[in-house]
Amino acid sequence: MTVLVTGSAGFIGMHVALALLERGERVVGLDNLNPYYDVRLKHARLARLAQFPGHTQIEADLSDRAAISALFEQVRPRRVVHLAAQAGVRYAQENPHVYVSSNVTGFLHVLEGCRAVGVEHLVYASTSSVYGANSQLPFAESQSTDHPLTLYAATKKANESMAHSYANLYGIATSGLRFFTVYGPWGRPDMAFFKFTRAIENGEPLPVYNQGQHTRDFTWIDDVVVALLAVLDQPSRADPAWNALQPQAASSAVPWRVLNVGGSQPVPLLDAIAVLEHALGRTAVLDLLPLQAGDVPDTAADPSLLDALIGARPRTPVSVGIPRFVDWYRTYHGA
């Protein structure tokens, strides 16, 4: 079948597209190759996909309504994996309009494309950031997401609501995946382990916010890909037990759902840095800074719904994942 993967030159997008190609699907990748970070890394990712005859790459911007409409009409994908977005939580404070254009208007264009050609299942990226000011751990899909702390989180919350409206109006099966701190090879340079590794290798101080007192539910990229493909193969359905008098936040009377993608293995940030130091064979210089606006001190996923649906949850510990990331980093940079 043909699967449209948006953000295919991105971190998660490349890994998902690669896994789909390896299992024999035809993949049409979409990316605008914007310069938010080094475009050479994006081209290097795409070079891995180009080895497969079933891969087609298209360069276009999600905010271009005519281009996205034409793409759907031309490709007519059976399923869509929507991972393209303006990434970076802190960057939203500098460029808010870019986030709305990409993450909200762009998502609308994807929904309209799915409606126009009758896509059977749309799986899209949400984020653990939607839990916002909620501090009840672990985060469960049934908990409130009404208090986002960043514009990035607000755009993803908007995506979940928009997906529900299209599931209701047009019967489009949608699944939103709330990713928890995904890391691994081919990651973005603005992500923690990439930045920390570069700083340690160069003998530079590591900016560590909240005095290093964060805990994070780090999720290994291969576990994310396994979960996403398993969800993609099971289009969402209306919950027959859903009660409008006692509405549940995690399900609906229409084919819509949201799922946490995290292993509920929160790790103190300083412990993760210690694992990184050991993998690199070097000692970090920590620049301990206050909590930044919009940051939450701790994250931990309740993966029960994901586990019940696909019979698996992310399980790779940082003691395994971080050394693998370091191996890739040094290979990629020729160290």
| Lookup: tokens for 137 | 């751990």
This prediction has a pTM of: 0.97
**In this structure, are 64 and 196 located in the same domain?**
no
The per-residue pLDDT of the chain, averaged, comes to 96
User: Rounded to an integer, what distance in angstroms lies between the CA atom of residue 121 and that of residue 83?
Assistant: 14
- By percentage, how much of the chain surpasses pLDDT 90? 94
Mean of pLDDT values over 58-74: 97
Task: Look at the chain and count its residues.
Answer: 335
Query: What does the pLDDT look like over 89-147, one tens digit per residue?
Result: 777 778 899 999 999 999 999 999 999 999 999 999 999 999 999 999 999 999 999 99
**In this structure, are 208 and 102 located in the same domain?**
no
Query: What does the pLDDT look like over 185-226, one tens digit per residue?
Result: 999 999 999 999 999 999 999 999 999 999 999 999 999 999
User: Rounded to an integer, what distance in angstroms lies between the CA atom of residue 318 and that of residue 261?
Assistant: 16
124 inside domain: yes
The count of domains in the chain is: 2
pLDDT on residue 86? 85
| Lookup: tokens for 285 | 């210089």
19 inside domain: yes
**In this structure, are 318 and 229 located in the same domain?**
no
CATH of the domain at 296: 3.90.25.10
Q: What is the DSSP string of 246-260?
A: S--TT--SSSEEEEE
Query: What does the pLDDT look like over 222-271, one tens digit per residue?
Result: 999 999 999 999 999 999 999 999 999 999 999 999 999 999 999 999 99
**In this structure, are 129 and 209 located in the same domain?**
no
- Which DSSP symbol is given to 197? H
Owning domain of residue 172? 2-183+218-261
| Lookup: tokens for 136 | 């009840």
**In this structure, are 14 and 76 located in the same domain?**
yes
**In this structure, are 80 and 200 located in the same domain?**
no
Distances (CA, A) of 291 to 146, 181, 246, 284: 22, 17, 37, 20
Q: Which residues are catalytic?
A: 152
251 inside domain: yes
* 210 conformational bin, left if phi > 0, alpha if psi -120 to 50, beta if neither: left
8 inside domain: yes
Query: What angle (nearest 5°) sits at the alpha carbon of residue 179, between those of residues 49 and 38?
Result: 45
**In this structure, are 75 and 115 located in the same domain?**
yes
46 inside domain: yes
**In this structure, are 162 and 52 located in the same domain?**
yes
On the question of pLDDT at 335 being above 70, the answer is no
307 inside domain: no
**In this structure, are 281 and 316 located in the same domain?**
yes
End-to-end CA distance of the chain: 40
pLDDT on residue 193? 95
CATH of the domain at 232: 3.40.50.720
Contact 304, 211 (CB under 8 A): no
Q: What are phi and psi of 174, to 5 degrees?
A: -130, 145
**In this structure, are 127 and 175 located in the same domain?**
yes
DSSP reduced 3-state for 129? helix
Per-residue pLDDT band for 87 (boundaries 50, 70, 90) equals: confident
pLDDT on residue 46? 98
12 inside domain: yes
On the question of pLDDT at 88 being above 90, the answer is no
Distances (CA, A) of 220 to 45, 79, 330: 18, 24, 18
Largest CA-CA distance found in the chain, in angstroms, rounded = 60
**In this structure, are 154 and 282 located in the same domain?**
no
Per-residue pLDDT band for 334 (boundaries 50, 70, 90) equals: confident
306 inside domain: no
**In this structure, are 52 and 63 located in the same domain?**
yes
pLDDT on residue 91? 75
Query: What does the pLDDT look like over 27-51, one tens digit per residue?
Result: 999 999 999 999 999 999 999 999 9
CB neighbourhood size of 52 (10 A)? 17
